[in-house]
Chains A and B, each alone.
Chain A
Amino acid sequence: DAKTTQPTSMDCAEGRAANLPCNHSTISGNEYVYWYRQIHSQGPQYIIHGLKNNETNEMASLIITEDRKSSTLILPHATLRDTAVYYCIVRVSRTQGGSEKLVFGKGTKLTVNP
């Protein structure tokens, strides 16, 4: 079962920041937070992952609270092409012997409006 809780849906205006929350109150010390997204009729796409420090890449930023019980994925300037289902996943990194499989919940359906 998924170890995360996400809102079912969110809306965002084009050009504004999209902030997608995720609760993972039972996260273990060696579990990372991963984010994937799935655009309609496509396979999931990796976005970013982190352990406890905030992370940023060309797609998004990941903010993890100090107690690691929740995190926020930030799309700084959302575009219409960012409309997708966003999945938050917690798992042990494979470099630390974690499972191969990804356990997806239902995710958050983000709609970016013009």
Chain B
Amino acid sequence: DTGVSQDPRHKITKRGQNVTFRCDPISEHNRLYWYRQTLGQGPEFLTYFQNEAQLEKSRLLSDRFSAERPKGSFSTLEIQRTEQGDSAMYLCASSLGLADEQFFGPGTRLTVL
């Protein structure tokens, strides 16, 4: 399968713990995006990378959130000191060059108890 992959698919954690998610984009896609989706809502943009550079961050991305894409390939999204309000589906997408289509992964569903 050459689509966008995310790991893990599900994560249950206790409030205050740190969690890290991984996204592997489609090979050769230089743009990578993170979105968050809560129940009944459409996805909300968090941040995006062009190669290894993080070029835009939403105000939704508080200082407890950090994203990296160290070699311009896979990306990680870390949430420190998780709160119940962080419970959501975290979606990763990638795109190539100036193409408008973003390809989404299956998401990581986070539940904070």
Contact = CB atoms under 8 A, between A and B. Distances in A.
Interface of A: 2, 32, 34, 41-46, 49, 85, 87, 93-95, 100-107
Contacts of A45: 104
Nearest to B93: A43
B102 A102 contact: yes
Chain B interface category by residue count = 20 to 34
A44 B55 contact: no
A94 B99 CA distance: 7
Interface of B: 4, 31, 33, 35, 40-45, 48, 55-56, 58, 91-93, 98-107
Nearest to A99: B56
A102 B103 CA distance: 12
Contact of A103 (B45, B93, B104): B45
A43 B98 contact: no
Contacts of B99: 94
Contact of A43 (B41, B48, B91, B101): B91
Given A43-B91, A43-B93, A43-B107, A104 B101 contact: no
B87 to A, nearest CB: 16
A13 B33 CA distance: 36
Closest 4 CB pairs of A and B: A104-B42, A43-B104, A101-B45, A46-B101
